[in-house]
Amino acid sequence: MQTFYNLIGGEWVTASNGAVFENRNPAAPQEVLGLFPRLTREDTRRAIEAARAAFPSWAATPPPQRGAILFEASRLIDQRLENIAVTLTREEGKTLAEARAEVRRARDIFRYYAGEGWRMSGTVLPSNIQGELLYTRREPLGVISIITPWNFPVAIPAWKIAPALVYGNTVVFKPASLAPQSSLMLVEALVEAGLPPGVLNYVTGSGGEVGDEMVTHPEVNGVSFTGSYQVGVQVYQKAAPTMKRVQLEMGGKNALVILADADLNKAVQLAVRGGFGLTGQACTATSRVIVEERIADAFVTALCEAANNLVVGDGLDPRTEMGPAVSREQMETDLQYVRIGQSEGAKLLAGGDIAKQGGYFVQPTVFDHVEPEMRIAQEEIFGPIIAVIRAKNFDDAIEKTNAVSYGLVAGIVTNDLQKAITFAEQADVGVVKVNEPTTGLALQAPFGGFKCSSANTFKEQGQSAVEFYTRTKTVYLGYRT
């Protein structure tokens, strides 16, 4: 069993009081993967102070030089792709194929933002005064606190840390305690690529202590958080007194609408991929399938057959198609929602139980005849549970798509172009997918939701990230007297 360290001011350190916590393999919970420092508030303050001290020099570094470090880090990630992927699978549970795809995405994100170092620009504006140059310039925000979840412990840190660094900010980064090791490997790549001390600080510990200090400390200028709605609201409220800029992504209750004209086999494949891929542990996962009544029976029969045929097991086994829940707590949450669905009158047609012993394995689960007001149709479960809701027609399907408090992703399966475009216009979500799974995002495109899925302010990914990680300064330069 290995002991790991935190990075503060360029030094690898333990908690000042020596406290540690374990991370374990969800496919074999008896296996302790490592010990990580459980930092105190004072330790966290030192990390924030290190980031503040490193900020002036890093902000003054030419953006192409900052980008060059990111590019070198991407090369190192590519070299270590298999090792990072195996580590990711062992601590988070997803299949090795899913883990490899995530690490490749992180590599590509670093490459993309390395190029941003050459693309940063302001705007020259026409002045209404003769002899004056009027222009804007982008400047880094300052010290950024980055708090990420366990379900994408490589990709989500990458799409936050890379733009933060290339745009000239310094970072204090806290990964989720359930999956800290694979994100540490990103940090190690950046350090080896030449990132100066203090520019990136890696801290582990409890959200109530480490995370709270990262949100409330007056020297922090911005907070980027991905996690649950309940915690996101607390982050927003705690950051408000010090007027911090906040970027939140807080989950979804995503619908896949299947119209009567859809190819049934394709619709089932998309529902299975979106609902059971990644063990349903994705903010973009398909948790509701809204299907037109006249094809509902045939669709549900095919969906249940596909769910029953999925191979559940250790993600390192090449035969496995769906890995375990990330923890005992998450497994118990999944099973609790099965009981809730049954008590509300939904019809359990597939799964609903533990898949196998020895790990946190849950069966792919399908409920039919789910009503929109039921809890399994309203609340984010974060597990392999699909709630099938029957719709009378296209208009009814849109109404039921929007009948939740979240607004992250909605998909539609249809061959009717007019209905596809109408759905894209009327779905009250930040991302619409047509004839594609609700999961899967292009790194160059803006990402974020509406309603309770985000703070409805700053998007993530692509060039839109510049809006959160920089501030705009307007300059009036008179050159004639």
Same domain, residue pair 20 and 108: yes
User: Do 297 and 361 reside in the same domain of the chain?
Assistant: yes
pLDDT score at 480: 83
215 domain residue, yes or no? yes
- Write down the pLDDT at residue 214: 98
Measure Cα distances from 214 to 2, 57, 105, 302 in Å: 27, 22, 27, 48
| Assigned domain for 439 exists | no
Residue range(s) defining the domain that contains residue 297: 254-434
Is 261 domain-assigned?
A: yes
Residues 238 and 269 in one domain: no
98 falls within a domain: yes
Domain count for the chain, please give it. 2
Same domain, 261 and 237: no
Q: What CA–CA distances, in Å, run from 132 to 474, 476, 481?
A: 13, 7, 10
Q: Are residues 308 and 182 in the same domain?
A: no
Q: With contact defined as beta carbons under 8 Å apart, do 392 and 293 qualify?
A: yes
- Can 452 be counted among the known catalytic residues? no
- Domain annotation covers residue 443: no
The CA-CA-CA angle for residues 29, 32, 325, to 5°, reads 35
What gap in Å lies between CA 54 and CA 201, rounded to an integer? 11
Q: Are residues 218 and 101 in the same domain?
A: yes
Cα separations (Å) of 69 from 155, 166, 196, 224, 480? Answer: 18, 9, 10, 22, 41
Residues 24 and 89 in one domain: yes
Residue 381 and residue 470 in one domain: no
407, part of any domain: yes
Q: Which residues, listed in sequence order, are joined to residue 98 by a DSSP beta bridge?
A: none
Query: Rounded distance, CA 458 to CA 464, Å?
Result: 8
Q: What is the full per-residue pLDDT of the chain (481 aa) written as tens digits?
A: 799 999 999 999 999 999 999 999 999 999 999 999 999 999 999 999 999 999 999 999 999 999 999 999 999 999 999 999 999 999 999 999 999 999 999 999 999 999 999 998 899 999 999 999 999 999 999 999 999 999 999 999 999 999 999 999 999 999 999 999 999 999 999 999 999 999 999 999 999 999 999 999 999 999 999 999 999 999 999 999 999 999 999 999 999 999 999 999 999 999 999 999 999 999 999 999 999 999 999 999 999 999 999 999 999 999 999 999 999 999 999 999 999 999 999 999 999 999 999 999 999 999 999 999 999 999 999 999 999 999 999 999 999 999 999 999 999 999 999 999 999 999 999 999 999 999 999 999 999 999 999 998 999 999 999 999 999 999 999 998 7
Amino acid at 315: G
Task: Considering the candidates 193, 200, 283, 441, report the single residue annotated as catalytic.
Answer: 283
Q: Whole-model pTM?
A: 0.97
- Residues 339, 340, 341, CA angle at the centre, nearest 5°? 90
Mark whether 55 and 175 lie in a shared domain: yes
391 bridge partner residues: 292
The answer to whether residue 446 is domain-embedded is: no
Q: What is the CATH number of the domain that holds 7?
A: 3.40.605.10
Say yes or no: 293 and 379 in one domain.
Answer: yes
Q: Kindly state whether residue 180 falls inside one of the protein's structural domains.
A: yes
* φ/ψ (deg, to 5) at 340: -65, -45
Q: Which amino acid would we find at residue 142?
A: G
In terms of domains, do 316 and 404 share one?
yes
Q: How far is CA 51 from CA 5, 55, 165, 200, 466, in A?
A: 18, 6, 12, 7, 20
CATH number, domain of 426, equals 3.40.309.10
Domain identity same for 154 and 301: no
